Structure 1
Amino acid sequence: MKRRDFLRGGSLALGGLALTPIISKGQVLPLAPSSKRAKNIIFMVSDGMSSGTLAMADLYSRRKFGRPSHWISLYEQSQVQRGLMDMASLNSIVTDSAAASSSWGGGQRVNNGSLNISPSGEEYLPILQKFKKSGKKVGCVTTVPITHATPAGFSVATKSRNSQEQIASLYSTLGFDVLLGGGSKYFDASFRDDKTDMYQKFRTKGYSVVKSKEELLKASVHYPLLGIFETDGLPYSIDHNSSSLLSTNVPTLAEMSVKAIEQMQSHPQGFVLQIEAGKVDWAAHGNDIGGLLYDQLAFDEAVGKVLDFAMKDGNTLVVITSDHGNANPGIIYGKEADKNFDRVHHFTHSNEWILQGITPSTTKNQIIERVAEANAAIRITDEEAAQLLSYYKEASMENGVYNARHLPFKLLAEIQKQYISVGWISMDHSADYTEIAMYGPGSENLKPFIRNTDIHEMLLVAAHVENKF
């Protein structure tokens, strides 16, 4: 074929493509009302889950336990509708959790750091308030402070995600039915700047207030429930599993999720529940492979419990997704990749646990032993121990999100990489298109590729709730 004929053919092909209808930016496809109403909706978020995190958690589960993760099993068995979602915020292709949750909660893109408020100050009514006004019970469950960005994006409108004391106060006015997570420093009068006892405010409004796993499991289903189990975020699952004290006193995400469902499932008009694995994101920010995988698998355990309920119930829409990527970890090619990755099976503590136990007076041998205690089958060298120790003796400690003590997370991850074949591209969010899976009434409206703001209307349509508020 002559070059000019090829180009002429290419032009014709492109002309043909031009005739194909294109959906303009921001246009939402018409949603088909489901013949069956979703009485209940459970919206599950693994915060900061890159696609590599989902894959590694599944590989870990298959190789250690001989079974796939619940999430991937849903794909294998074709039990869900699957798609990808563009999670950009109003001012960046790389979103933060506040703007991401607001895109779902308020149905509009906002700037990073904002919760359901436009740059001009326009407020968007969050979806849990809409569902509450429609007569449903509503709630949030998370492994980070309940006032954190993801639950807040479904619940409130405020200029800054950082105003967590204000968010706790706003929660007390909304009449939500279940709030479970961490963040006692935003409720306890001794921590709050205004010295307000938020626990007492909730009690006066009829809430059961619980602060331990035992109290949670015993809480009556006849009263709204506030459960706060840590000062800040809950412990990493890998540390929780290794401590009898934590296992006894602090509930898992699956346990909180089951309790939240029990609290609301008998309501005649149904319920809407958001569940978040917030510490997946925190672990990714710290390049902490043990923290990341064990919290992703704890989320996956909650997925299994939720699907058990939804499959028996038959009237529940389940949404499983992430709000953005973070650090984009993955297993690196090499002869020893399988063997190296399997070493993570024997990890018993997070990198945070390792690094918080080191001081300027710690010896190199003590660091080597501490890493070996947390990462069985790994014994770092004297030189590597000296590199870690230097961070505690010099002023050049690392900054970073959720790294208040400026611990050398990046260095430890780089040291671990040669032993476990897991690498990271950064310590921050990335502009991934996120995985989304749907099961139950309304899932038929999920297209292969959607915009984050489409979710808001999809949930309302699935529940046959008019968007009139």
Structure 2
Amino acid sequence: MKTLIRLTIFTSLLSFTMPANAAPPHKNVILLIMDGTNSDILTLSRWYRGTDLQLDEILVGGVRTYSAQSAITDSAAAGSAMATGVKTRADFIGMNPAGRPVLTVLEGAKLTGYKTGIVSTSPVQHATPAAFTSHTLNRDEFGDIGEQQVYQGLDVVLGGGAAWLKTQSKKYAKDDDGMLKTKEVSREDGENLMKVIASAGYDIALGRDGLLRKAVSSKLWGVFADEDISYELDRETLKPDEPSLAEMTRAAIDRLSHGEKGFFLMVEGSKVDWAAHKNDPVGMISEVLSFDDAVGEALDFARKDGNTMVVAVTDHGNSGLTLGNHGTNENYKTLPPGKFIQPLKQARLTVKGATSQLKKDRSNLKKVLSSYGLGNLNKKEYCAMQHTKNVEDLEGEMVNLMAKRANLGFTTHGHTGEDVFLYAYGPGKPVGLIENTDIPGVLSTYMGFSLEMGPLATWYVDGVKYYRDRGYAVEIEGRTSKNPVMVAKRNGEVLRFPENKDFYWRNDEVVGLKSVNVYDGKTFYVHVDE
């Protein structure tokens, strides 16, 4: 009873000492997504590092990952579920199963006054970052996704994907022999989005030094590769001018943490998934540990700040990696961790990093194999490598041999449908076994808005129907072009809504909008304030 009285008195005194109009504390959310990661690679990465992961300290539950149409999801549907709270179809980005755009938790945060940012080791136009920042029916529409991202008014964007921001850039592809070649590519609509970014007042970072440079603007856009950023294991040797995921995360938090209300940041460690598709355990470990370092940056900030929720999760499993394979059926009880780890530790590069150094005449094949930890092959093993038809086949032989030596198994080169781990820290954090669609609800509730009720739930309308109902003559100009525009005319007034932009023209006047216009090839979606 005395304790209760003392607590009541303390609370009363505190209320008198705080100003009546004191602002509530900032609320920050950092959502970190490790793409395509199953549980065994986390175990393997822990053994490889030799210490607990930083993720281990904040394990709180699990997440179910299935999509609206399949027990095994793709990254677009999974990302959209975690961004919007709606299960959707494969390849859909920020769309519900009927193909209608749904506001994301990042957009909701921006619209309610929070600073916002995304970080990714893939192109920022790739499925997961796209799902939080754009709306398309096809995840491969990098041109439209990139344009929407530029006009979303984000405060921080860091990652790859320069090829879809410029009118012309180099794109890398493999020739018939599997060797890398380059070709010039252009944005289909001919727009130079880098100029738009510069005119919007961003600090632009084109390399690691630029990222670490002193801030001039409160906004930062970092473009560190035409496509994806290198695997962490390869980066220091092959691409030292590219930043690590941890460095990008730290830089993003630093820029975003000076806002009046708080911030929402989505960070994706994209390339665990990419390595898993190749069945490359070395690449998978590289990216799990890279992601874990980024989680460490988020936790360091959250622990000092006190008002930051950190959530870390993977969007789905990939590859079916197992510690143990058919070769360990009889002796698994006698295999210490070193039997799995030591072969992997011989690799200095991932399989992609190693084969990227291969000369066309393959005169350095032994050196390439050695850089992947395969320096002591017998005659039969080396012959199998020599006689591969192309680089892709060579990589397949290399990862198969590495898996055999490390006593690992793989069931697929595709995604898998298991429940995944949930990690969280801070006020309002989620716990237990939850749906992936529960995540944005938890985050938005903590930040004080709802995606399910109120104006954000019905944000987008069919623009043609809306304006026709109000007496406008409406048509979509350039319906099949790369720059379609919805045009509404009434009594001398002409409204022109360009696709993917955050404004429209009223006659010759530019009118700003709170969100981007979305066109799916049939329906033109806009937001209107009534």
Matches within 5 A, 1:390-429: 390-392=387-389, 406-429=392-415
Partner residue of 2:318 out of 319, 326, 329: 326
Corresponding residue for residue 437 of structure 1: 423
Q: How many residues are treated as equivalent by the alignment?
A: 405
Q: 1:237 to 1:81 in 2, by over 3 A?
A: closer
Q: TM-score, normalised by structure 1?
A: 0.82
What letter is aligned with 1:121? G
Residue 185 (structure 1) shift = 0.7
Rate the CA distance shift 1:84–1:240 in 2: closer, same or farther, 3 A.
Answer: same
**Alpha-carbon distance in structure 1 between the residues aligned to 2:216 and 2:52:** 34
**CA shift digits 1:27-60 (9 cap, x unpaired):** xxxxxxxxx9770000001100110111111111
For 1:78-157, what aligned pairs fall within 5 Å after superposition?
80=58, 82-157=60-135
Q: Is the 8 A contact 2:87 2:97 kept in 1?
A: no
SS at 1:45 equivalent: strand
Q: Structure 2 vs 1, CA of residues 97 and 270 (structure 1 numbering), >3 Å: closer, same or farther?
A: same
Q: Deviations over 1:203-231 (max 9, x none)?
A: 11112221111111115263311111011
Q: What amino acid is aligned across from residue 371 of structure 1 in structure 2?
A: L
The reply to whether residue 207 of structure 1 matches residue 207 of structure 2 is: no
Residue aligning to 1:298: 290
Mapped partners of 1:189, 1:278: distance in 2:
25
Output the aligned Cα RMSD: 1.9
Which structure: larger Rg?
A: 2
Question: CA–CA distance in 2 between the matches of 1:429 and 1:370?
Answer: 29
Structure 1 segments, 4+ long, off by >6 Å, are: none
Task: Name the counterpart of 2:15.
Answer: none
- Whether the 8 Å CA contact 1:107–1:457 is kept in 2: the answer is yes
Structure 1 spans left out of the alignment, 5+ residues: 1-35, 75-79, 398-404
1:197 to 192, 203, 206: 192
Letter in 2 for 1:52: D
Distance 1:439 1:121 in 2: 34
Question: Matched residues in 2 for 1:337 and 1:379: separation?
Answer: 22
Q: Structure 1 residue 158: deviation in Å? A: 0.9
38, 57, 60: which one pairs with 2:48?
Answer: 60
Question: Contact 1:337 / 1:421 at 8 angstroms: preserved in 2?
Answer: no
- Deviation at residue 358 of structure 1 after TM alignment: 4.1
The alignment partner of 1:436 has SS state of strand
Name the SS for the 1:154 alignment partner. helix
Matches of 2:435 and 2:25 in 1, distance apart? 23
1:242 is paired with a residue of what secondary structure?
Answer: helix
CA-CA distance at 1:359 after TM superposition: 6.0
Q: Give the percent of matched residue pairs that are identical in Structure 1 and Structure 2.
A: 28
- 1:205-244 alignment runs, 5 A limit: 205-220=200-215, 222-243=217-238
Does 2:256 align with 1:270? no
Deviations along 1:235-268, whole A, 9 cap, x unmatched?
A: 111111334xx22x11000000000000010112
AA in 1 matched with 2:96: S
CA distance in 2, matches of 1:266, 1:369: 49
1:465 is aligned to 449
Query: Structure 2: any 5+ residue segments left out of the alignment?
Result: 1-23, 169-184, 457-530
Q: State the distance in 2 between where 1:221 and 1:138 align.
A: 18
Task: State the AA in 2 paired with 1:338.
Answer: P
TM-score computed with the length of structure 2 as normaliser: 0.73
* Equivalence map 1:374-385=2 (5 Å): 374-375=372-373, 378-385=375-382
1: CA distance, partners of 2:367 / 2:146:
42
